[in-house]
Amino acid sequence: MERSQVRFWNPYVGGVALGLVLLATYALMGRGLGASGASFRAGVAVVHAIAPRHAEATPAMASTLEDGNPLDDWLVVEVLGLIVGGFIGAATSGRLRREVAKGPTFGSGRRLALALVGGVLMGFAAKLARGCTSGQGLSGGALMSVGAWAFMLSVFAGGYGVAYLVRRQWR
């Protein structure tokens, strides 16, 4: 038997809570939330450990190495908190379970392959756009940045444009 799960919050309640977290971040940290920036810093740390010269010679990586350890950044701490918060949320709602999220008729291997491909696309895109859905869309959007709104509308356009092609993995 599957353990019963706590229901998801009403989307508007969740949205207000999320907005208040973001507002607190603006007020306390002088900046918004983020996610993909920490992913990049983790990647740079790995590359720097393996091939320090190469990392220092690559302009995009060098800029995060200037201040020393690329992991010594508030965003990395925030994302570690994000992981802990996600874990607590799942553990206290009966949703902590090792599984592959997919439709019942789609193979796990193919699903994981698509997850990787999608992740690579997003990592690249987040760097190009100077932020992902959290750091650019949400945080820039609430500040009414023109670029953030253009980004967000493009995210939806991109999602709707490709949705039909990958529908099978959710069936």
> Which tokens is 102 given?
């997919």
Residues 145-164 touching other proteins, rule: CB under 8 A, are: 145-164
Burial environment of residue 47 by CB neighbours within 10 A (0 to 12, 13 to 18, 19 or more):
middle
Distance CA 27, CA 37 (A): 20
> Which tokens is 8 given?
């998801």
Distance CA 162, CA 171 (A): 16
Residues 114-133 touching other proteins, rule: CB under 8 A, are: 114-130, 132-133
Q: How far is the CB of 72 from other proteins (least distance, A)?
A: 10
Residue 107 binds other proteins (CB under 8 A): no
Residues 58-77 touching other proteins, rule: CB under 8 A, are: 58-61, 67, 73-75, 77
> Which tokens is 117 given?
């491909």
Residue 57 binds other proteins (CB under 8 A): no
Total residues in contact with other proteins, by rule CB under 8 A: 127
Residue 144 binds other proteins (CB under 8 A): yes
